[in-house]
Amino acid sequence: MVKELSDQERAIVQMAILDRWNARRLTKKISDHFGLSVNKVRHLLSTQRFKDEYRKQLAIYQQEFGDICLGDRKERVKAMDDLYHLIPDYRVALKLKVLAQIRVEVGQDQPMEHPPEPIGINPSPRAESYEEWIKQNRQAEKASQEG
């Protein structure tokens, strides 16, 4: 029977995917972030179950959803959330990568269009004639007396 990965190991998979541009320093970064020894990280990275999970999560990251079930994607979001909270504040780029991937997985990767709101007061339309101007002034005066 194959042992499942722990939450920490899933977070390590996500970090390995998102920070894979510099694989040479990856073991040291993982050991620093998760408080593990470098040898333990090397051993974890070499296990077959870790490699299988890495391939599966990399396929999700690259938007290849052929045989990926929804449960795997939910686990990925949970692992990325755990990873986000472990990343130190000075690693801003990695934090932004994690947040971007969470947003893509949750389906909120399209910017929302907000209608512009008027700033300041809402003036009445400009009067075309003197009579209309007098009428607007009386309406404004009446409204100010009522309120």
Express each pLDDT in 66-88 by its tens digit: 566 667 778 888 888 888 888 88
- pLDDT confidence tier of residue 10, bands split at 50, 70 and 90: confident
- Name the strand (E) or helix (H) holding 71: helix 70-86
Amino acid 8: pLDDT: 86
Range of the domain at 100: 7-106
Task: Report yes or no on 138 lying in a domain.
Answer: no
The pTM assigned to this predicted structure is 0.50
Mean of pLDDT values over 84-107: 86
Flag whether 76 is in a domain.
Answer: yes
Q: What angle do CA 11, 106, 36 make, to 5 degrees?
A: 5
Give a yes or no: residue 1 inside a domain. Answer: no
Give the phi and the psi of residue 19 in degrees, each rounded to 5.
-115, 30
Domain assignment present for 88: yes
In this prediction, what percent of the chain has a pLDDT beyond 70? 84
Structural domain includes residue 142: no
Cα–Cα distance, 134 to 129 (Å, whole number): 9
Within a domain: residue 114?
A: no
Mean confidence (pLDDT) of the chain: 81
- Residue 61 covered by a domain: yes
Q: If we measure between CA atoms, which residue out of 84, 80, 15, 100 comes closest to residue 50?
A: 15
Of 114 and 55, more confident: 55
Domains contained in the chain, number? 1
Q: Is residue 131 part of a domain?
A: no
